[in-house]
Amino acid sequence: MNPLVKKIDTVFIQVSNLENSLDWYKQIFNLEIDFKEDYYLVLKIGETPLTLIQTENITTNKLNHAILYFYSKNIEGIFDIIKNNTEHYTEIKFEDGVHFFEFKDNNGNPLGICSY
């Protein structure tokens, strides 16, 4: 069977201030800008880019679960970076062969990191 959808093209993260959010994501993940407009920008990360989109009303920061998980081969290293740059994070957990933790970005968006 040939699926009609081949991949996820991009993931959108709502932010209140594009420049502040860009600084935060670059500091945490060391990502490069692929494309930038007045109210959004695209960051390179693997096959699926991450798009930060500026909005006046962030709706995802009210969720109780992560809107996406990043994968890292070095979960302890990224955990130390997150721990030093945000006050909202969980400890690293291990379930079903996966190490993971969750945190909030500088806009309160719930995110996660996993490693397996």
CATH number of the domain enclosing 38 = 3.10.180.10
For residue 72, tell me if it sits in a domain.
yes
Residue 43: domain span: 11-58+65-115
Report the phi/psi class of residue 38: left, alpha or beta, with left for phi > 0 and alpha for psi in -120 to 50.
alpha
Using one digit for the tens of pLDDT, what is the confidence trace for 52-100? 999 999 888 788 899 999 999 999 999 999 999 999 999 999 999 999 9
For residue 2, tell me if it sits in a domain.
no
* Interval 7-32 mean pLDDT: 95
In the predicted model, what is the mean pLDDT of the chain? 95
End-to-end CA distance of the chain: 29
For residue 90, tell me if it sits in a domain.
yes
Contacts within 8 Å (CB) and 24+ apart, 53-59: 53/12, 53/13, 53/14, 53/15, 54/15, 54/16, 54/17, 54/18, 54/21, 55/14, 55/15, 55/16, 56/16, 58/14, 58/15, 58/16, 58/107, 58/108, 58/109, 59/14
For residue 1, tell me if it sits in a domain.
no
Specify the number of domains making up the chain.
1
For residue 4, tell me if it sits in a domain.
no
For residue 3, tell me if it sits in a domain.
no
For residue 5, tell me if it sits in a domain.
no
* Interval 3-26 mean pLDDT: 95
DSSP state of 61: G
